[in-house]
Structure 1
Amino acid sequence: MSSGNPTAADILIDNPEADIFLLNGIVYSNAGDLDWVMEKDWTAGEEVAEITRQTAESNEFTSGTATILPVGTSIYQTEEPSGLYIAIVNNEEIPYIGLREG
């Protein structure tokens, strides 16, 4: 892995099936399997982004690119600061957490 925050390439080399998106230089990963995330009732706040591209090719990742989320998916901040975003797909809220070094 590279130094600093993980990149899409860092994640996809270890897990080509990873459910991630890139926003403002930070990779966000599906956090639906993390107990501490699922135990809390997160509320979607302001819309901050939209998925503009879908690919599994790490060299094609730019801000707004996702591996699994469909193009047009809205991304929302949570109402309380947490480093967690919520994507809404087919009326289902899916939590994503930022992958940061340190």
Structure 2
Amino acid sequence: MHKTLSIVFLGMIALIIGCSNEDDPIATSNSEENPTAEEILTLDEEADIFMFNGIIYNTNVDWVDELTLTKGDQVGEVKEQVEKDHFEYSNGTANKLSVGSPIFEANERDDILIVEEDGEVHYYYALVEG
């Protein structure tokens, strides 16, 4: 009986160690910090992101795109567009949005911003930890 418990215990430890993913920057990052542009773009190099007030916002989130939101006040605009492999973002930096695209708050939610570009409206979700 004692030998069986030892084998089960060792098997559980091997399973836990085998399932850890040290190559995943999100999984190995400090869980109390918000994701960075580099972390997001490493996971999905096609992600459409921008930084506002120190937070990375991402679009094309299925459940967010299904919401019906109304624009509130304009809170900013895109100030800089960077290349795909550029990871140093500051407020107003985007990787796909055009410079000058206006950024609006969403009246219904604090964690979503609305951006208008070329007559299209896009919802961007705040990527925050916790």
* TM, length-normalised to structure 1: 0.89
| Residue number in structure 1 paired with 2:57 | 28
Q: How many residues align?
A: 99
Indicate the structure with greater helix content. 2
Please provide the CA RMSD for this pair: 1.3
Give the 5 Å matches for 1:14-93. 14-30=43-59, 32-34=60-62, 36-55=63-82, 56=84, 57-59=86-88, 61-93=89-121
The DSSP-based 3-state class of the residue aligned with 1:69 is: coil
Runs of 4+ residues deviating >4 angstroms: none
Contact persistence 2:34–2:128 (CA under 8 A): yes
Indicate the structure with greater strand content. 1
The structure that has the greater radius of gyration is: 2
Structure 1: tracts of 5 or more residues without a match: none
1:10-62, CA deviations, whole angstroms, 9 ceiling, x for partnerless residues?
111222221000011100000x341x323321101100111010013002x11
The one-letter amino acid paired with 2:40 is I
The one-letter amino acid paired with 1:58 is F
* TM, length-normalised to structure 2: 0.71
